[in-house]
Every structure is written in C-alpha cells, then in structure tokens.
Chains A and B, each alone.
Chain A
Amino acid sequence: MERDLVEYIVKSLVDDPQAVEIKVIEGEKSTILELKVADTDVGKVIGKNGRIARAIRTILSACANAQSKRVILEILD
C-alpha cells in the first residue's frame, strides 16, 4: 500500500514513469522502500535541498498503516 502511494506520486513527478522501480524490503519493525528512477529524474524526486524527498517521507509517515510500522524511503542513484 505504501508502495502504491510512492509509485503514484513519483510517477506523476518524473519524465520517465516507465523507469520507476520500487523494491520493498519488509523488516520486523520497519518497511524499507528502495526507489529507483531514471538517472535524469533523480533530481526531480529529491528536489532542491531534498524538499521533495522530505515531503514524500512526511506523507509516508502520515499513512494510515504507518502508525504501527515505520516506513523508510531510500532513493538509489
């Protein structure tokens, strides 16, 4: 579900939605989302001073499920 959310947001922001890949690593207390986008789009998901990445993480932490389990978003480049 968090995966869907991140996928939807990221795909709406990048130039190359086809290249968006998300790998979910389920841990005991936390879920790690590894996000991969086209090289040219990395800046678009991070933003100036990481503003966009921070906004996505804030929204993740406000998810209905996030109350019980931590969700960590990692952006790979």
Chain B
Amino acid sequence: MSTKTITLGPSQLALEEPMYFRVQTEGEIVAGLDVMAGHVHRGMEHLVMKRNLYQNITLLERLCSLCSNSHPSTFCTAVEEIAAIRIPPRAEYLRTIADEIKRISSHLFNCAVIAHITGRGPLFKQAMEIREIMQDTKESIYGNRMDLAANCIGGVRCDLTPESAGYLAKQMELMKAPLDELFRVYTTDPAIRERSEGVGVLSRQDAAGYAVVGPVARASGIGYDVRKKSPYGAYDRLSFTTVVEQAGDVMARIMVRLREAREAVSIIDQCLADLPDGPVWADTLPEIPAGEAIAKSEAPRGELVYYLNTDGTDMPVRLKWRVPSYMNWDALKTMLHGEHVADIPLIVNSIDPCISCTDR
C-alpha cells in the first residue's frame, strides 16, 4: 500500500478561513494528522493590552463573527467580577437572549455546511432559509446580522421594547416547526446518515483525554455545559436540558446542535415570559480596581474562558482567553484516523471549527 503525506489547505475543506493540514495517508485511508495554525493570527492578545477596557468590548466582538456575542459578554463579566459590579436582573435576561439567538444561528450554519459537504444542496438551502429567520431577527432587534454590539460593562446596550419583545416571540414561534422538521430530515435522510453515522468517532475516553468541550464533548457522552456547571446571566433561573449523545460520530454532533437550537428557542421563550422590569445597565460604574478574575460562558462551540488581570488603571495588565476550538482541533487526530481521505472535509467541519477564534 502506498504511504504518502498530503497537505490540505489553506482554503480547501469547505472553510472560508485558512488552516493547513498535513495528512499521512495509506492508500485512501488517513494514518496521521498534523494541524498547522496561525494563518489568520492577528495578534489580538497584544492589541487588547494597548486598548482600555471599554475599547476592548468593541475589539473583542470582532474576534469572530459566529460567536461574536460570547466574547464581549464574557469579557464584561470578568470586569464586573473584579469591580464587584452587579448587573441589573433585566440585563442578565437580555444577555442570555442575545447569546441564545447567536447559538441558534451558529448551530444552523454548521448543520447547513455539513449538508453542503455531503452533497445535499436542497437541505443546505433549507437549513440556511431557517437560519435566515434568525438573521432577520438580529437585524431587526440589534440593527446588525452578525455583531450585535449588545453588551457594555454593567449591563447591555440594547433593551427590548414591548414591540420588539413581541416580534422576537413571534420569530421564535416561526422557528419551532422548521427546527423539528430539520431534526427529522437530518436524522432520517439516507445520504446524510450514510456519510455521518459511525464516521469520525471520538469515544468518551478520548474526548476527556483531549479535553474537548461544547457540542463535540456532549456528542461523545460528556454532559458538560457551562450554563449548568457555572451558571451566569439568567441561566440559573431557566429550565433547559443539557443535550448529550453517546455515539461520538458526525451524526451525534449534528443531533446535539439541532437539539440545542431547539432548546435555545425554549430558553428565549422563557426569558421573554420572565423578563423583569427595570434598568438594563448599572447606573454608576466604580473605578475598576486592581484584581484578577475568571469568567466563563457556553459559547456556541463550547466553554469560553476569559482571564483578566488589572492594576487599577483602565488598561488591562493581561487579558487572555481560550476558545472552545483550541482543544477541539487536536481531537481530529483521533476522529480522522482510519477514515477515508474523502471524508476529511466532513469530519473537520463536524467539530464546527472556528479559525479566527483559534488564531486570534
């Protein structure tokens, strides 16, 4: 059998962003993998130390488009922790709503990409059309389809009027039946099932060893969700299920994302029903003292961690964050081992990789 090394990337694999893969193959089978990152490295951890805490809200939102709300909201939580700022209850619910809106869009985008890779054009179109309801929702409420600019230190910038809350509730109604239908189609479509069941398997033990997070971990039987384990925002007062699958294959990761999108609709419904009255940001902000804090959130791709160290000025001494994709890349070594070369794009995209987040 012929053994050779092929390089894939930077702009193949159905990704818009560049990532190089060096793949060892034996015939048509993957025998080894090396992931080479850094092609969109923008030195953002350097840039955040040259800007003050307020400017960084804007910069961090531009780190990545799909989880753009998770970055500023988690960063603001870290600042609030250091300065003992209590954000108003209404702001906690509004942050939760923004995060869940982004989660639905992000998950549907990934499921659409999976349909595209498996050659199911009509299903790609169907998933993207349903996602368009969410894009319209973001545009109508926040004025933007990707970066919501919803967060500020001490709360949120964007309140919901009775009219916009009613609009959001109607949009969520529009999502329910199509999401249920989408789950049915993905889990019964013969072409999708053939390409995704038993493909790209990551066992529970390997998932723990690689320290993967988010839907990748939950599809391998690890029931870890930051919203439950380390609640923030309004999640401690909401009822929702941590979606877990056991198979650890591409199909399991699709199922986790589609079920989580449906859970997110229910979370937004609950937030709208329970939305407290009152202000949406803290009235006066104290000086940000010297200190350090950890803040975590469940971004669409999994656990996002921020560490902030301050010295009493408004410039961070150190601001560091770790995105969920950071560990998920490594797990591809196991997921791809023994699989067909032709399945590499599918398996790579099944971890819903975020390259701009990884490289920073």
Q: Do A and B bind each other?
A: no
User: What is the interface of chain A, defined by CB distance below 8 A to chain B?
Assistant: none
